[in-house]
Structure 1
Amino acid sequence: MSSHSKLESFLSSKTPEALGIVRIVSALIFIEHGTQKIFSFPAGKMGGVELFSIFGAAGLLEILGGLPLLVGLFTRPVAFVLAGQMAVAYWFFHAPSNFFPANNGGDAAILYCLLFLLFVFTGPGKFAIGKK
């Protein structure tokens, strides 16, 4: 077996661990977006939004969807809902202001949308309390 094949085999064997780490870290950062909207924590521009507003609903989804994603519970359906949230966020709030994601502030929404879609197809990876 060549060294390239050994490396490929080793890296492939670690895919569940890599997916789990990416899921956990992305969920933590996603939850932070929600706490920033709802609780102004960590300190941010938004904070204190009305819960019964579009930004309040987004903040609640980010917190309440991020938590099961963090622990790997119901990963596929939760990720599907959150991917949809990020698609709506991009097309309704970012895209209308400018065509380019780097200029309209929507690059994170696009990345989260695609990352969550990845979890829909791959599942939670390692370190999950739910079904694989």
Structure 2
Amino acid sequence: MPSDSPNVTSPLARSWGPQLLSLLRITAGLVFLAHGTQKLLGFPAGSGGAPEMLSLSWFAGVIELVAGSLITLGLFTRPAAFVASGTMAFAYWLAHAPRDPFPVNNGGDAAILYCFVFLYLAAAGAGPWSVDAARRRP
């Protein structure tokens, strides 16, 4: 059987896979959170001001702030990641896809990656380094 077969798990994946899942979650959560803090709190300073309250951009910022915080902490990871994934799918089809059919041309490559990373986290969970895992321990 070839070594790249999905039925063969490397020793590295067996020993570090769960921790790498946690690192993926923390990294994606922090960067997603930064988009929310930029939109709503002006940090780090961006090119525009705060979005108008109750606008689509404002709702996106709230979701980025709340879901990004929850995902980073690993608290209610599955539902937070599911909402974040849907938000990024919505953002791609609403804001990026109409510009150009190719993600590298329409600026939507990050939205696609976020969508599928968060969809994976919604299915896989938070990993061992999370509040969710700590809450399950006796």
TM-score normalised by length of structure 2: 0.86
Alpha-carbon distance in 2 for matches of 1:47, 1:39? 9
Alpha-carbon distance in 2 for matches of 1:37, 1:76? 24
Counterpart position of 2:117? 115
Q: Whose helix proportion is higher, 1 or 2?
A: 1
Alpha-carbon distance in 2 for matches of 1:18, 1:45? 34
1:91 to 89, 93, 96: 93
Aligned length: 126
Q: Is the 8 A contact 1:38 1:51 kept in 2?
A: no
**Aligned amino acid, residue 19 of structure 1:** L
Alpha-carbon distance in 1 for matches of 2:82, 2:70? 13
Alpha-carbon distance in 2 for matches of 1:45, 1:99? 26
Matched, 1:42 2:32: no
Counterpart position of 1:21? 23
CA drift at 1:51: 2.4
5+ long unaligned stretches in structure 1: 1-6
Superposed CA deviations along residues 25-67 of structure 1, whole A, max 9, x for unmatched, are 1100000011111122111123311121100000000001111
1:68 to 64, 67, 70: 70
Counterpart position of 2:128? 126
Alpha-carbon distance in 1 for matches of 2:95, 2:53? 18
1:102 to 104, 123, 137: 104
Superposed CA deviations along residues 94-123 of structure 1, whole A, max 9, x for unmatched, are 000111111111110000000001101111
Sequence identity (%)? 46
**Aligned amino acid, residue 87 of structure 1:** A
**DSSP-derived class of the 1:124 partner:** coil
